[in-house]
């Protein structure tokens, strides 16, 4: 069981505290993605220095390598990766659908071929719960099917209802204990009635939190916000709400305005490894020659150690030479940028100025422009 408290609200946006077995998470929160028990290019100490409070691991990847039982034998994921703070694990459903080769979906679960060596596995709601228990993650996710976008109404309805039956089995298999929790995942594609049917089913089962899944899969931002407009309001206001796989700063701000409390996305680390840096005025492409002789920091308004100690010119050099340090420094800066954004969001909601901050940020950020 998880303890969640709402501390302040402004319209639909809210600030809260989520207490877990391994620490407290201040919401709205951005979770760093550590799929294979590591946030790529960062040590745990570097992750913590950015203000990150919770890291995401993944059932699919960790069941294949190094294996859930092996992680358990090392004392669980926290000790295995030297991260003593909260961990959320994805159920593996999305990766089974997107990464594995030949797969067969039945009522029992999904039989799939590993993307590593082609070995065959069965992942079911019960198996997903068992793996997440062995990993010792604080926040577990119900096993679900994330359908591709776009999809017909009939295919979406069939997929959503299967996910709801799997959600009930996930709930039955989850071993509840203090400081640990299970989130249900709302599915239903872009269809309002299916989304609301999914919400009702999950609320009837009763979870410690609720995630909105099946978004950020290629649909326009306006459609994502439309789905959130009617979905989030139907969820239990006393439980945390998690928008999976999102996203860009403008996505996060729009979702916070609609009542979302938790986010995750690979964007800060993936962008760092590809030479891109998030700044208060947009995204910098460090491959561009215009940065070669620039003696300034990535972002004059940023307090991270990268901006305090390294110039754009040096970072351009590292990226141009494909040096590992370039990926490390840019990823650290990007994650700090995201965590600072979340801190600013929490402060402005508490002060009742979030809507003004939202508008001014987007005006300055120029809708995620690249420079």
b (16+ CB within 10 A) / e for 223-260: ebeebbeebbeebeeebbbbbbbbbbbbbbbbbbbbbb
Is 90 considered catalytic here?
yes
* Residue 262 backbone phi and psi in degrees, to 5: -140, 145
- Dump the DSSP string for 138-189: SEEE-------SS--HHHHHHHHHHHHHHHHHHHHH----TT-EEEEEE--T
CB atoms within 10 A of CB 22: 20
Distance CA 214, CA 186 (A): 8
Of the candidates 211, 281, 224, 231, the residue with the CA atom closest to the CA atom of residue 254: 224
**Would residue 264 show up in a list of annotated catalytic residues for this protein?**
yes
Closest CA to 357 of 280, 284, 265, 283: 280
Q: Is 34 in contact with 45 (CB distance < 8 Å)?
A: no
Q: How many Cα atoms within 13 Å fall on the side-chain side of residue 89?
A: 31
Which of 136, 251, 264, 299 is an active site residue?
264
73, 90, 155, 293: which is the annotated catalytic residue?
90
Per-residue DSSP letter, 74: T
Q: Catalytic site residues?
A: 90, 264
């Amino acid at each position: 069981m998880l303890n969640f408290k709402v501390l302040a609200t402004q319209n639909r946006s809210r600030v809260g505290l989520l207490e877990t077995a391994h620490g407290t998470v201040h919401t709205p929160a951005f979770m760093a993605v550590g799929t294979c028990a590591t946030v790529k290019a960062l040590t745990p100490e570097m992750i913590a220095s950015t203000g990150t409070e919770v890291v995401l691991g993944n059932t699919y990847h960790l069941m294949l390598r190094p294996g859930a039982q092996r992680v358990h034998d090392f004392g669980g994921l926290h000790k295995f990766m030297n991260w003593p703070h909260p961990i959320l694990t994805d159920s593996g459903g999305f990766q089974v659908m997107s990464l594995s080769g030949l797969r067969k979906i039945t009522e029992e679960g999904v039989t799939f071929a590993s993307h590593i060596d082609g070995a065959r596995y069965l992942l079911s709601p019960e198996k997903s719960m068992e793996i997440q228990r062995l990993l010792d993650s604080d926040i577990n996710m119900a096993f679900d099917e994330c359908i591709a976008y776009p999809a017909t109404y009939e295919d979406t309805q069939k997929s959503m209802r299967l996910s709801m039956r799997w959600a009930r089995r996930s709930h039955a298999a989850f071993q509840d204990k203090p400081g640990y929790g299970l989130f249900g995942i709302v599915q239903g594609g872009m269809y309002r009635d299916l989304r609301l049917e999914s919400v009702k089913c999950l609320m009837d089962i009763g979870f410690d939190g609720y995630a909105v899944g099946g978004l950020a899969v290629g649909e326009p931002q306006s459609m994502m916000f439309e789905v959130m407009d009617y979905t989030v309001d139907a969820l239990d206001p006393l439980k945390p709400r998690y928008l999976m796989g999102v996203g860009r700063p403008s996505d996060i701000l729009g979702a916070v305005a609609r009542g979302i409390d938790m986010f995750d996305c690979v964007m800060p680390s993936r962008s760092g490894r590809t030479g891109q840096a998030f700044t208060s005025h947009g995204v910098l492409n460090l491959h561009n020659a215009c940065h070669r002789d620039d003696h300034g920091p990535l972002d004059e308004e940023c307090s991270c150690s990268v901006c305090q100690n390294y110039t754009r010119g040096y970072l351009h050099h590292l990226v141009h030479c494909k040096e590992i340090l370039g990926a490390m420094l840019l990823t650290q800066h990007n994650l700090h940028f995201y965590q600072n954004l979340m801190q600013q969001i929490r402060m402005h909601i508490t002060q009742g100025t979030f809507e003004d901050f939202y508008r001014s940020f987007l005006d300055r950020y120029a809708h995620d422009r690249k420079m």
